[in-house]
Amino acid sequence: MTISRKDIEKVAVLARIRVDDEQVSALEKDLGNILELVDQLSAADTDSVEPMAHPLNAVQRLRPDEITETNQREAFQAIAPATENGLYLVPRVIE
Amino acid sequence: MHNKSVAELSRELESGKISSVELTREYLGRLKKEDEQLNSFISITEDQALADAHAADEQRAAGKATPWTGVPFAHKDIFCTNGVATTCGSKMLANFVPPYDATVTENFRKAGAVCLGKTNMDEFAMGSSTESSHFGATTNPWGLSKGEKRVPGGSSGGSAAAVAARLVPAATATDTGGSIRQPAALCGVTGLKPTYGRVSRYGMIAFASSLDQGGAMARSAEDAALMLNVMAGFDPKDSTSIDREVPDYTATLDEPLKGLRIGLPKEYFADNLSAAMEEQVRGAIRDYEKLGATVKDVSLPHANLAIAAYYVIAPAEASANLSRFDGARYGYRCEDPKDLMDMYTRTRAEGFGAEVKRRILVGTYALSAGYFDAYYLKAQKVRRLIQQDFIDAFREVDVLMSPTTPSPAFIQGEKSNDPVTMYLEDVFTVAINLAGIPAMSVPAGFVDGLPVGLQIIGDYFSEARLLNAAHQFQQVTDWHQREPQ
């Protein structure tokens, strides 16, 4: 299966990664080759096969509904790019 | 002293022949001198290591030692270390200092081991050559004497190169598609990827959550067993951790191999394997027969689909896991973003390297509307078929053996511009991660002066049997003792 420039530009927006025109050309080739490799899967007969999400068929564990974590806001905000008054700063969203 | 194993160093410390501070100073000196040409470390934590060594000596004097108390080692830079930079080989996390420890890190700390620093790796563990690290490529110590700069394999290439060059006796590593076994093979060391869920993933920066597994990189199976004794166990902080008793992995190392049934998957001895590689691996298998094992051919009929399934599932999971790196809460942020979308897209374009971006885009594509069934769901079904192949094989044999890699270490830059060729480096290892079973690579010979690895694959939770098989092999061979010049 081939992947078009338009597809790459669309996926880049979904993935929140800026790509310029030159990069799109390189990605067209690389992603096309990867998808060609992946297309081998279509040869497998999987009609009656259950998809496998976990190797050990484990189910999600439950725990008592109790607070176990302590508040570490200061420690976590100390490594953030920008904070103010205990909040994470990002560019203005609403004018 | 740097030529001794973890087990030997532990005995030297116990006997009082050397202190942890002396040992740590010796390794740090060697590391600072020798790593210039290898670049196997991203950071060296000298002050912390010496403080930990002092504490370890006090602990021993107080009679509270474990086998690891005062023994130097290193962590792959994917394990979070409280107060110490944890970069995952990426510009995105170049300034990230975690405020907490990974469970694996905490376990080694509690055991009294002395961490000398963090080892180099492919960015976010994506790669087979440790060339995609933001901090520069690691060079394989083998080949240097001939003036060749070869790759150490990836993504745990820093750990493998450091152990091979005797800069540390052991190092932690992780394996998503072969990232412990493939570098272990190319550097001539012993690498163990345990069963999925055996070692906690808490605090291990996630790449593909259903495949990632922490494990051991050491010079011998005995040292790998000592590492797994510290690493394995149930962790309530990891929802995929398995609540199952942990044996003493050193207790069964000396059991004889008489009657061990070895299966040779015919798909792993096919056209893509050179005659010279095959000769070395078959030579190792003959050694096992001399030890009393029996050998038979088996088939893994869906082995040829493993790479294709892996390169849908791993990127799909990576695209979700790496969405957290958006410049808002930690890590890199682009300069002067004009709005939120600009911050996200420029931060991720500037912070991630080419291979990481490729995989995020492939994963996003595979999960996007219209392609989910054709790619992701199909790959998860093929994954079941691959798992069933292994379940069927283990009805007939105790372990499977194969080459770990199709060829020895290649020259740096040889494959870095061709992602698909690079992906095929893991052709014998990825199926094991898809099935979630354990496997090891042990040194088993040389081709053109470069190490060759033998892969030993086991059924779920059979780590003790794998370590026993590897240890017995290492009692009658000396491939694991060979040292690069």
CA–CA gap between residue B258 and residue B230 (Å, rounded): 29
CA–CA gap between residue B405 and residue B450 (Å, rounded): 12
Per the CB < 8 A criterion, the answer to whether B121 and B77 are in contact is yes
Confidence of residue B270 (pLDDT cuts 50, 70, 90): confident
> Which of B329, B356, B423, B425 to mutate to test binding with chain A, by most A CBs within 10 Å of its CB?
B329
Residues of A in contact with B330 (CB under 8 A): 76, 79-81
Per-residue pLDDT, averaged over B185-201, amounts to 98
Taking an 8 Å cut-off on Cβ atoms, the answer to whether A33 and B343 are in contact is: no
For position B416, what pLDDT does the model report? 85
Among residues B276, B275, B287, which one has the least CA distance to residue B401?
B287
Taking an 8 Å cut-off on Cβ atoms, the answer to whether B311 and A76 are in contact is: no
Which residues are registered as beta bridge partners of B115?
B73
For position A58, what pLDDT does the model report? 83
CB atoms within 10 A of CB B424: 15
Confidence of residue B466 (pLDDT cuts 50, 70, 90): very high
Per-residue pLDDT, averaged over B322-334, amounts to 97
Mean pLDDT of all residues belonging to chain B: 97
CA–CA gap between residue A4 and residue A32 (Å, rounded): 9
Residues of B in contact with A60 (CB under 8 A): 239
Among residues B293, B211, B295, which one has the least CA distance to residue B468?
B293
Confidence of residue B369 (pLDDT cuts 50, 70, 90): confident
Where helices occur in B333-462 by DSSP H, the ranges are: 340-351, 354-367, 378-393, 419-423, 430-435
Q: Which two tokens stand for residue B165?
A: 């060059």
**pLDDT tens digits along B213-264:** 999 999 999 999 999 999 999 999 999 999 999 999 999 999 999 999 999 9
- What percentage of chain B has pLDDT greater than the value 70? 100
Nearest-Cα residue of chain B relative to residue A95: B339
For position B276, what pLDDT does the model report? 95
Confidence of residue A1 (pLDDT cuts 50, 70, 90): low
- pLDDT higher than 80, residue B408: yes
Q: Which residues of B321-338 are buried (b: 16+ CB within 10 A; e: fewer)?
A: bbeebbbbbbbbbbeebe
Residues of B in contact with A16 (CB under 8 A): 323, 326, 341, 344-345, 348
Active site residues of B: 76, 155, 179
Residues contacting residue B110 through CB under 8 Å, at least 6 positions apart: none
Backbone angles phi, psi at B340, to 5 degrees: -65, -45
Residue with tokens 């992603």: A31
Closest-CA distance of chain B to residue A27, Å: 7
Per-residue pLDDT, averaged over B430-439, amounts to 98
- pLDDT higher than 80, residue A2: no
**pLDDT tens digits along B20-63:** 999 999 999 999 999 999 999 999 999 999 999 999 999 999 99
Per the CB < 8 A criterion, the answer to whether B184 and B158 are in contact is no
What radius of gyration, in Å, describes the C-alpha atoms of chain A? 22
CA–CA gap between residue B158 and residue B75 (Å, rounded): 10
For position A69, what pLDDT does the model report? 83
Residues of A in contact with B375 (CB under 8 A): 38, 41
For position B425, what pLDDT does the model report? 87
DSSP secondary structure code for residue A40 in this structure:
G
Per-residue pLDDT, averaged over A31-48, amounts to 94
Q: How far is CA B310 from CA B130, B161, B345, B381, B415, in A?
A: 19, 26, 27, 12, 19
Per-residue pLDDT, averaged over A2-6, amounts to 89
- pLDDT higher than 70, residue B398: yes
CA B162 to chain centre: 13
Residue B352, chain A, CB below 8 Å: the answer is yes
CA–CA gap between residue B171 and residue B417 (Å, rounded): 29
Taking an 8 Å cut-off on Cβ atoms, the answer to whether B311 and A44 are in contact is: no
Confidence of residue A68 (pLDDT cuts 50, 70, 90): confident
Among residues B228, B231, B197, which one has the least CA distance to residue B465?
B228
* DSSP symbols for B119-179: E--SGGG--SSS-S-TT-----STTGGGT--B---SSSHHHHHHHHTTSSSEEEEEESSST
Per-residue pLDDT, averaged over B297-304, amounts to 97
